[in-house]
Amino acid sequence: MLDELRNAARRAVDESAVRTLLRDCRRLLSERGEANSAAIARQLVDRFIALPAAGQATFFRRLASDFSPDPKRVLQSAQAYAKASTAAHLVDLMRATEPPRQELLRRINRTPGGTASIVAMRRALLARVAAEPELGAVEDDFLHLLASWFNPGFLQLRQVDWHSPAHLLEQLIRHEAVHAIDGWDDLRRRLEPDRRCFAFFHPQLPDEPLIFVEVALLPDMPDAIAPLIARGATADPPAPGRFKVAAFYSISNCQPGLKGVSLGNFLIKRVAERLQDELPQLRTFCTLSPLPGFAAWLAAGPDFAALPGLKRGGAGRLADAARLLQEAHGDDLAGLHGAVAQQAAQEDEAGREALLRLGAAYLVHATPLPKGDPVARFHLDNGARLERLNFAGDVSKKGLKQAHGLMVNYLYDLDRIETHHEMFTRGEVAHSRAVAALL
Amino acid sequence: MLDELRNAARRAVDESAVRTLLRDCRRLLSERGEANSAAIARQLVDRFIALPAAGQATFFRRLASDFSPDPKRVLQSAQAYAKASTAAHLVDLMRATEPPRQELLRRINRTPGGTASIVAMRRALLARVAAEPELGAVEDDFLHLLASWFNPGFLQLRQVDWHSPAHLLEQLIRHEAVHAIDGWDDLRRRLEPDRRCFAFFHPQLPDEPLIFVEVALLPDMPDAIAPLIARGATADPPAPGRFKVAAFYSISNCQPGLKGVSLGNFLIKRVAERLQDELPQLRTFCTLSPLPGFAAWLAAGPDFAALPGLKRGGAGRLADAARLLQEAHGDDLAGLHGAVAQQAAQEDEAGREALLRLGAAYLVHATPLPKGDPVARFHLDNGARLERLNFAGDVSKKGLKQAHGLMVNYLYDLDRIETHHEMFTRGEVAHSRAVAALL
Amino acid sequence: MLDELRNAARRAVDESAVRTLLRDCRRLLSERGEANSAAIARQLVDRFIALPAAGQATFFRRLASDFSPDPKRVLQSAQAYAKASTAAHLVDLMRATEPPRQELLRRINRTPGGTASIVAMRRALLARVAAEPELGAVEDDFLHLLASWFNPGFLQLRQVDWHSPAHLLEQLIRHEAVHAIDGWDDLRRRLEPDRRCFAFFHPQLPDEPLIFVEVALLPDMPDAIAPLIARGATADPPAPGRFKVAAFYSISNCQPGLKGVSLGNFLIKRVAERLQDELPQLRTFCTLSPLPGFAAWLAAGPDFAALPGLKRGGAGRLADAARLLQEAHGDDLAGLHGAVAQQAAQEDEAGREALLRLGAAYLVHATPLPKGDPVARFHLDNGARLERLNFAGDVSKKGLKQAHGLMVNYLYDLDRIETHHEMFTRGEVAHSRAVAALL
Amino acid sequence: MLDELRNAARRAVDESAVRTLLRDCRRLLSERGEANSAAIARQLVDRFIALPAAGQATFFRRLASDFSPDPKRVLQSAQAYAKASTAAHLVDLMRATEPPRQELLRRINRTPGGTASIVAMRRALLARVAAEPELGAVEDDFLHLLASWFNPGFLQLRQVDWHSPAHLLEQLIRHEAVHAIDGWDDLRRRLEPDRRCFAFFHPQLPDEPLIFVEVALLPDMPDAIAPLIARGATADPPAPGRFKVAAFYSISNCQPGLKGVSLGNFLIKRVAERLQDELPQLRTFCTLSPLPGFAAWLAAGPDFAALPGLKRGGAGRLADAARLLQEAHGDDLAGLHGAVAQQAAQEDEAGREALLRLGAAYLVHATPLPKGDPVARFHLDNGARLERLNFAGDVSKKGLKQAHGLMVNYLYDLDRIETHHEMFTRGEVAHSRAVAALL
């Protein structure tokens, strides 16, 4: 009873706060706001941050309901434009169609710290939108504006190394998503002279990396992750002249509020260009990437025959491979890798081949499907080519669980990325002869 | 005959170049372009720059005709949204309505130097749009995006002084639009310790000032421009503690391609805040501004009775004042100022009062009209207050010709700018008692 | 037998290397060297570094024997100057007296990295000089030049915080000599907003801190070290306005090769001035310092009666105090502190007082003696005043062992440091009334 | 009478000020001063600056008389060292010999701005020392310390261009000593892409260039100055790849107080190294230099037979050349150059040859003499080689008057500067075959 009263009281307070916040929004959008927008926007942002989650949700709903375009006015403008497609009609149509909340966000963005606030708001919004599709149009407006503001022309590429500020390196440790960095000594290994790390920054968020990529400089294309991230300074790094390969082995986003804004694609290409300038002897730009969905796909017993683009007899060969593995190892392929680790892959050469064939099929034939491997989709859509599958590339617990230890190299050939990207938009996966030979 | 052939040949070459350029545009907008946009955009920009003026015009016309939204698709989406205003329908409507050339500009903006290219493109477009209204919607897209990218949250305020790079100072000399800077010695005077200069910069155009403002620090609100810009270092500038007034005496845009993007408004307020931080003893932030349209307005014989908001008897008093000036000086009021310059204003006290009254009426009653004084409209719309008219404030040739020597102080009271701005949107001009007493 | 041969061979190689190095030295000092000194100096430094320790020792001996002034020429010049003290004779005398190795070092210093090389050379030299006094004049030349080059006018004071480069912070962890920093998390605590860290840098060694000091901002003068260096971010640091005291709690040299060059003295004063500028509300600049020699002094059974400057009856009171402690605790005073730690000092109030009295006597009466406490000598010579002794100020193992847990505050009163310093040069220790009351 | 009284009064005031200043000096040198040197030094410097010239002279005299080493103590130390050349005796000797004013200057140097003050003091001192040789030992101490502090290892080489701060460029205009810069437009020509300008800076004087050199990048070694400094941007500068020659055409000191500190030598070599890095295609580093003393030497009627190192018959050939010129042109060779300017050198081919022969003799045979050409001595002592004489190289009024229009190229061959420098110390001038052929 008391609790109910208390909750009701809290709800009343929250509702009042949301009402005040909406009043701020209207004031900021008004003529008055035009003259003093920075001050009003600052206040508005402070009020939003102070709201509890429920209040923020209410606020987003009101952004959806109260700050959308007027359907009637839109229809009239569209009819006028359909009748006579003049410049004047088009300008009028666009005025009528743009949701007022876009201008609201642009005015918030005018204030110092405004951009960071909008990124934070979107983060909160993204957490809601799956459950409330009606917030989708609001989310679309946030994404539309952020994509415009975080376009790569505005981003600064900076190298991160052991001379970088500690507070920045700390964020790398925190945000590394692919191969966790276990403290400062581990980080240091990844910033040695035979390693590179680059991040994108936005002028409005000068202390916050948006996304960063870790690169290993090597004589050859790498086939396993462990040597790349092993701790301890390399006693004798190869002479710079011996580096022929730049391998992108980890790429991590730092800003959940920028989800969906294309950053990684541009980062990889800008870094490749920059490394090519710095080290003209580099011949190969590639990744060493996980296949996070492979084990789950295999465990689900895929219908090989339904895979698009198989060669003749391909489905049968895949079924044979799956059966062979199942018989020899059951669900647990650790034994297989154990053998490898003991440099005795020959003991189960057939098992090794079966696993690589299934991996190749997963990437070449299953990636283009809607639920295809996300890492593969990212690189293929960027225009990379599937170059090589690596058996026992990641024998960490996570690597064995997700992909039975397989890893993959995607190749970035800057002269051919346009062609490869286009292939992928048609549903084809560009791949090397070596991969084709597995199928 | 030969000339005709030559012209025809040139036209053919130009048309071919425009066709190639449009192909670049479509490629950049395509799926292929997504993967390699920076390279394509660079090429596209180079091709545009190489076009002769006529070719650029053709290109803009094609942007208008070929990259506008499809009226039918727009109408269908608008009808769906009118029927059911769901998020999905709204997102679809917005996709249908946005002209594809907006995405084109966003992709050009991704490349290094892209922003500068778009500003340059708009400069060329603005030169055309008055004569070809059908380019208006294209121009609207440019303005829409540039306003979003050059929002004040992204701009950097930097002080410019004698320690600034020479190439930057050179641009100040070139772009000063209000009171011309006559070479380096003249510039130096404006950067002495009792002067300030601030400019806005955009991270993408780090060497290009967008707009700059010149400020004089003074013990009192200034009533004439000559002492502020007199050459030669001030022998004895007042002690910093004696400065009570910051007078903005010149504000100049450097980028014609950013016309219409609101910069001056924010610059003045940011500078006022910064000076208040640096010099807490400052009490007054004001301008010393010209009335560029006053003399022309007066010469056209305005119908005083039609001015909105006049006090009772006001029209008669203005007519009297105009008649008195006409009888005493004809069209040439130089004699009146000559007297003043000789410190003998008392000889024609009545003429002096008549001129101030007419100036006050021009600003208070004629500014809100559509063709009102542009400088007055700028400051009043920013939320400034009309504070004082200054007889013989600018007795340069230009000052006498444009405004019979009158100058005006607008007062920026940061606590009241919102109110003043709102008054002005209602057609009222906030003004001091001293100004009211003139009417 | 083989070993002997091997050793002989090695010695021959070393001797040859030293001979080559000495030839470099002569060449650098010659006319030829003047024209190309940077190149020769670079080579010379490389050769020195490549020498084994024995070779370096030989080299230093040759610097002493071959690069000293000629006694005969010196004597002649001195006689001429004694006869007629003209400017010409003085200039000649100085030319004759300066060891040629000084010019050698100055020429080495001309090359990029030269300063760092000379610091490194001196480090090696210092390790030898105790055992070989004849190297003393060489060492004196190194010190003379380094003191001139590392004078505080050339040093840059920089704040070190969490935004500083990681490689710099790493050096703090490595060089902290007073209260060890246990890794990155521990360091971070010392760089929180209520802490400050400052270091001196030399323009020629931009990445190498020379010396750094750690400061705690506090409401009151601190009486124990543990709370200052406790790990974990302070949940609620006091508001900046509440800081009244800046306590220097650790000062560490980073360059053994600069031993004897006065840095700490200037660092403390520059930091005090800077903090006073930044936080005008600071009232007290003091240290929280160890008494590293106290326990050893006490254990040696000092002759109290021989202490200079004792008040009447002082020796007797000290002897009583020593006896009391001895009887109650023997050599191990840990029990005494244990009581304190349980906030039961009252259990052994007499023991506490006895210890403080002995500490005060040690600092006030034994410090001016040649073997006095080094930390006390440093601060008193800087012009600080002995302000307060703190019982149980450092109950770490090291603190208990060195000083039975005592710590001391020295007060830096910038207006009185000259007077206090002069007192100390006369053998008097400036101290507060509270300290006097203990004696 | 009144004047005498007034002068006496002023003298009394000055004497009192000098006495106060000397008291500051003794205090700074004392033990008290050690603890608070920065504050005392600041005051001392202010007092010195406030002194009138006569007071400064008195002060310098007192530095000579009161702050020199004690002859008796010096003699004792020298005797002890002569008897037993131990390290201890040497250290004692050096303590006894160093004038206390050296330590005084080192302590002044500790304060912010101290270095600049010492440079300014020496400037004042240099103006006196010619007339008062007894100040020579004081001057020697200043030079000794400044040479140590301004050693090239401490200097920063910075490129100066149109992006440099205006206040810096202004100093170039002011200090250019060889070919005057006539305002900002003239300066701009010298900072175009085919020009370079570099300056040395000291960390303690960050805004003050010490010395700067101007360089022209050219396809060929230049033979005349006019084209290098002609105003107006070069319409079409050659492509960077076409630059084969870097010609140093002007080098100017900015700090009279650093006279005698070797800067130009190091500047030229550091710049040559840097340009070689930036533009590996550069083949030749040379100067285009004046012969400031040639015309005066010739006019004085030199005794050719007395020139050292002449070939057989050389004196006769020179006498013939001088006679020929005298007969054809008298003292005024302008007519000769007039002919050249009209591209009609053939009209007086014999006159041209005679002039070049005399110029070559002046440089090759007269430069090693004590009063030899200062520019030649500078470059030859740096290790440059005399490469080519250029007839009509500088036909400006100054060029004709000083050297009858001759200019000369000195060649810097970094691999041979040591050899050439050594030759010059033996009295030989390294020169090309082309020059030898003239003699």
C189/C127: higher pLDDT: C127
Question: Two tokens at B115?
Answer: 């922003």
Domains C2-149 and C294-436 belong to one CATH topology:
no
Of B27, B28, B66, B148, which to mutate for an interface test with A (greatest number of A Cβ within 10 Å)? B148
Report CA C237 to chain centroid distance, whole Å.
Answer: 31
CB contact set of A182 (below 8 Å; sequence gap of 6+) = A231
Query: Alpha-carbon distance A25 to A27, whole Å?
Result: 5
Pick the catalytic residue from B202, B365, B379, B420: B379
Q: Check whether C290 has a pLDDT greater than 50.
A: yes
Contact between D361 and D318 under an 8 Å Cβ cutoff? The reply is yes
Asked if B164's CB is within 8 angstroms of D166's CB, the reply is: yes
CATH class of the domain at C294-436: alpha beta
Give me the catalytic one of C252, C289, C337, C365. Answer: C289
- Mean of pLDDT values over C253-277: 92
Question: Is the Cβ of B426 closer than 8 Å to some Cβ of chain D?
Answer: no
Mean pLDDT of the region C142-156: 93
- Chain D positions touching C418 (Cβ under 8 A) are 32-33, 35-36
Q: Which residues pair with B200 in a beta bridge?
A: B157, B211
Predicted local confidence at residue B345, as pLDDT? 52
Q: Which CATH number fits domain D2-149: 1.20.140.90, 3.90.1300.10, 3.40.720.10, 2.10.69.10?
A: 1.20.140.90
Does residue C401 surpass a pLDDT of 50?
yes
pLDDT, tens only, B193-221: 899 999 999 999 988 999 999 999 999 99
CATH of domain C153-287: 3.40.630.180
Return the pLDDT at B238. 67
User: In terms of C-beta distances under 8 Å and separation of at least 24 residues, what long-range contacts does A422-429 make, across chains too?
Assistant: A422/B31, A422/B32, A422/B35, A424/A368, A424/A380, A424/A381, A424/A383, A425/A381, A425/B31, A427/A308, A427/A309, A427/A368, A428/A309, A428/A368, A429/A363, A429/A364, A429/A365, A429/A367, A429/A368, A429/A376, A429/A380, A429/A386
C206-239 pLDDT per residue, tens: 889 999 999 999 999 999 998 888 865 455 666 7
DSSP C86: -
Could you give the 3-state DSSP secondary structure of residue B218? strand
As given in the structure block, the two tokens for residue A44 are 């508005």
Interface test with B, best of A29, A104, A148 (most B CBs within 10 A): A148
| Among the listed residues C100, C67, C95, the one whose alpha carbon sits nearest the alpha carbon of residue C81 | C95
The predicted structure's pLDDT at residue C422? 87
pLDDT at C344: 45
The helix (run of H) or strand (run of E) holding residue C49 is: helix C37-50
Q: Which amino acid is at A33?
A: G
Q: Are B199 and B151 in contact (CB under 8 A)?
A: no
DSSP per-residue codes, D292-335: TTHHHHHHT---GGGSTTPPTTHHHHHHHHHHHHHHHHTT--HH
Question: According to the model, what pLDDT value does residue C237 have?
Answer: 64
Render pLDDT for C369-399 as a digit per residue (tens, 0 to 9).
Answer: 878 899 999 999 889 999 999 998 998 888 9
Q: At CA B300, angle to CA B299 and CA B303, rounded to 5?
A: 115
Cβ of B164 within 8 Å of Cβ of D164? The answer is no
With CB atoms and an 8 Å threshold, state whether C79 touches D75: yes
- Rounded-to-integer distance, Cα B247 and Cα B217, Å: 6
Least reliable range by pLDDT among A328-332, A389-393, B301-305, C299-303: A328-332
Nearest CA in chain B to A83: B71
Q: Is the pLDDT of residue D343 over 60?
A: no
Cα C174 to Cα C184: distance, rounded to the nearest angstrom: 11
Q: Is the pLDDT at D368 greater than 90, yes or no? A: no
Burial class of residue B370 in the structure, from the number of CB atoms within 10 Å of its CB (0-12 exposed, 13-18 middle, 19+ buried): exposed
> Residue A291 and residue A403: Cα distance in Å, rounded?
6
How much is the average pLDDT of C334-350? 60
pLDDT digits (tens, 9 = 90+) for D142-166: 999 999 999 888 999 999 999 999 9
Per-residue pLDDT, D214 = 95
For A158, phi and psi rounded to 5 degrees? -130, 140
Percent residues over pLDDT 70 in chain B: 93
Of C78, C79, C112, the CB nearest to D153: C112
Whether C89 and C80 have beta carbons less than 8 Å apart is answered as: yes
Identify which of B166, B170, B184 has the shortest CB distance to residue D164.
B166
State which residues of chain A have pLDDT below 70: 1, 31-35, 231-238, 331, 334-335, 337-347
Separation CA B156–CA D322 (nearest Å) = 68
Residue to mutate among B151, B204, B261, with most A CBs inside 10 A, is B151
What's the Cα-to-Cα distance from B265 to each of B226, B270, B271, B355, D256, rounded to whole Å?
Answer: 25, 9, 10, 29, 50
Residue D241, phi-psi category: left (phi > 0), alpha (psi -120 to 50), beta (remainder): alpha
What is the domain partition of chain A in residue ranges? 2-149, 153-287, 294-436
- Band of the pLDDT at B335, cuts 50, 70, 90? low
Helix A87-97 vs helix A71-83: crossing angle, to nearest 10: 160
**Does the annotation count C337 as an active-site position?**
no
Number of C-beta neighbours around residue B43 at 10 A: 16
Task: State the burial class of residue A170 (Cβ atoms within 10 Å of its Cβ: 0-12, 13-18, 19+).
Answer: middle
- Helix A2-29 to helix A53-66 angle, to the nearest 10 degrees? 40
What is the average pLDDT score of chain D? Answer: 89
Please give the pLDDT value at position B242. Answer: 86
Give the Cα separation of B265 and B383 in Å (integer): 9
Q: Is the pLDDT of residue C126 over 90?
A: yes
Asked if the C-beta of A165 comes within 8 angstroms of chain C's C-beta atoms, the answer is yes
Amino acid (one-letter) located at B276 = Q
**pLDDT score of A341:** 47
Q: pTM value?
A: 0.89
Instruction: Measure in Å the smallest separation between the Cα of B65 and chain A Cα atoms.
Output: 10
Of B221, B294, B211, B201, nearest to B253 by C-alpha is B211
At A342 the pLDDT is 46
pLDDT at B248 > cutoff 70:
yes
Q: What is the DSSP string of B41-100?
A: HHHHHHHHHHS-HHHHHHHHHHHHHHSS--HHHHHHHHHHHHH---HHHHHHHHHHHS-H
Rounded CA separation D25/D104 (Å): 7
Judging by DSSP bridges, how do beta strands A385-390 and D245-253 pair with one another? unpaired
Minimal CA separation from C367 to chain A, in Å: 41
Across residues C108-113, what is the average pLDDT?
A: 87
Query: What would the two tokens of residue A158 be?
Result: 């900076």
Active site residues of A: 289, 379
Phi, psi of D205 (to 5 degrees): -130, 60
Q: Which of D179, D289, D329, D404 is catalytic?
A: D289
Segment B213-237 mean pLDDT: 83
Arithmetic mean of pLDDT, B33-53: 85
Query: Which residues are within 8 A (CB) of D227 and not within 5 positions of it... i.e. 6 or more apart?
Result: none
Rounded Cα distance, D340 and D359, in Å: 17
Distance CA C318, CA C303 (A): 10
> Which residues have a Cβ under 8 Å from the Cβ of C291 and sit 6 or more positions away?
C359, C362, C363, C373, C375, C376, C402, C403, C406, C407, C408
DSSP 8-state assignment for residue B366: I
* Pairing outcome for strands A245-253 and A284-287: parallel
Closest CB from D164, D170, D184 relative to B165: D164
Question: Taking CB atoms and an 8 Å cutoff, what residues of chain A touch B148?
Answer: 106, 145, 148-149
Which alpha helices (DSSP H) does C303-432 contain, by range? 314-329, 334-341, 349-361, 374-381, 397-403, 417-425
The 10s digit of each residue's pLDDT in B348-391 is: 788 889 999 999 999 999 998 878 899 999 999 889 999 999 99
Q: How far is CA C338 from CA A163, B327, C68, C349, D405, in A?
A: 45, 105, 59, 13, 94
User: How far apart (Å, rounded) are the C-alpha atoms in residues D358 and D391?
Assistant: 12
Given a cut of 90, whether residue C439 has pLDDT beyond it is: no
Nearest by CB to D162, from B164, B167, B183: name it.
B167
| A119 to chain C, closest Cα gap in Å | 23
Q: How far is D174 from chain C (nearest CA, A)?
A: 27
Closest CA to C116 of C213, C23, C207: C207
Residue D298, amino acid: L
Please count the residue pairs, one from chain A and one from chain C, whose beta carbons lie less than 8 angstroms apart: 31
Residue of C202, C379, C404, C431 marked active site:
C379
Q: State the average pLDDT over residues D422-427.
A: 89
